[in-house]
Amino acid sequence: MVDTNKVIITCAVTGSIHTPTMSPHLPITPDEITDASIGAWEAGASIIHLHARNPEDGSPTPDPDVFMEFLPRVKQATDAVVNISTGGGHGMTVQQRLEAAVKASPEMTSLNMGSMNFGLFPILDKMSDFQHDWEPKYLENSRDFIFRNTFKDIEYILKELGEGHGTRFEFECYDIGHLYTLAHFLDRGLVKPPLFVQSIFGILGGIGADEENLMHARRIANKLFGDDYQWSVLAAGRHQMNFVTMAAMLGGNVRVGLEDSLYIGKGKLAESNKDQVAKIRRIIEDLSLEVASPEEAREMLGLKGGDLVQF
Ligand code: KMH
Ligand code: ZN
C-alpha cells in the first residue's frame, strides 16, 4: 500500500442492514440522511457512503428519485466524496441497485466482490416487537437470500459505471477470496490502481471478526496489490471501533457509520453518525496519524472530482 500518514475516514450513514426499530437514531428520511452526512463530514469523514430509504417506513429503496432528494444537498453543503452503494438492499435486482448511480454519475460507488450469504436473521432472536411489518420479514428472508455479485455482474458494473462514468470503486471484500477476485480483474486490466479495498469483517456469510483474519487480509492484500492499493476496514456491530483502530495502526483507512454498527460503546447506542466519526478521529489523532481531507482522499484514490458528477 502507498505509504502515507493520512487516514481516510468513510462514514456509511444508514445502509440497509439495520431497521428503524433497532435505533431511533438511524437516518431514514432525505432530511435525516442529509443532516447525518453533513455532520459526519464536519466531524472528519471525507467519504460519505450512501443508501436510500423509503421515507414512509424506512425500508431500503433503490429509487433514484429518493437519492436525488439528498445527493445534491450533501454536495452543496460539503466537499465530501459522495459514494453511492451498488449493493442496495436484500431483494433488489442488480439493475435496480445500479439505477441511482447511473443517474448520478458519482465519483465513487461500492462494488461487492462476490456472491454470498448475508444473514441478518439472528437479530430476530434478540428482538420481537417491530414498528413496521416489513422489518421482521426482511430479516427472516435473509435466511434464504443470496447476495448476488457474479463475475458477469461485476464486469457489467465496471463497464457501466467505471468506463461509462469515470466512477471509481470501493471494492467490498467480505472474505479473502474476494481479494483474489479483485486481483483477477486487475490482471485483466479491468480495474486500475490505486484500488480502494474495503476489507469487511463480521457479516454472517463473510469472514469473521477475528484479529487473525484482519492480519491475514492485510498480508494477502499486500501480496496481491503491493503499492497499488489503499486499504480500508469496516467491521460489523461491536467489532467496529477496535477493528478500525487496528486498521489505522497497520497503515490503513477506516469506515464507521450506523450502516455497520448502531453503537458508540458497550451497550450504548450512537446518537449520531458524527459521534462515531468523532470517536475514530480522536483515536487516529492519538495515534499521531492525520485525518485525510476530502481533497487528499481524492488524490489518494484517483477520483475524478466533485464537479464531474450529475447531481
Ligand atoms: N454494509 C456493508 C457490510 C454496499 O453498500 O454495497 C456492505 C456495504 C455494501 O456497504
Ligand atoms: Zn453500503
What separation in Å is there between the alpha carbon of 15 and the centre of ligand 1? Answer: 7
d(CA 109, CA 168): 7
Residues with CB under 6 A from ligand 1: 12, 15, 17, 85-87, 110, 112, 172, 200, 203, 259-260
Strand pairing category for 52-53 and 60-61: antiparallel
Amino acid 83: pLDDT: 98
pLDDT at position 4 is: 67
Matching CATH number, 6-308, of 3.20.20.190, 3.40.50.2300, 3.20.20.70, 3.30.1360.120: 3.20.20.70
For residues 199 and 225, is the Cβ–Cβ distance under 8 A? no
pTM summary value = 0.98
| Sequence spans of domains, the chain | 6-308
Which residue CA neighbors atom 2 of ligand 1 most closely? 260
Looking up cell 461491536 gives 238
Q: Which residue puts its alpha carbon closest to atom 4 of ligand 1?
A: 87
Grid coordinates representing 31 are 432530511
pLDDT at 206: 98
What number does the ligand 1 atom closest to the CA of 170 have? 6
Q: Are 84 and 50 in contact (CB under 8 A)?
A: yes
Q: What is the pLDDT of residue 157?
A: 98
Please tell me the predicted confidence (pLDDT) of residue 177. Answer: 98
Question: DSSP string spanning 119-183?
Answer: B-GGGGGT----SSTHHHHHHHHGGG-EE---HHHHHHHIIIIIIHH--EEEEEESSHHHHHHHH
Q: What is the mean pLDDT of each run of 10 residues along the chain (311 residues)?
A: 79 98 98 98 98 98 98 98 97 96 98 98 96 98 98 98 98 99 98 98 98 98 98 97 98 98 97 98 98 98 98 98
Structure confidence at residue 5 (pLDDT): 86
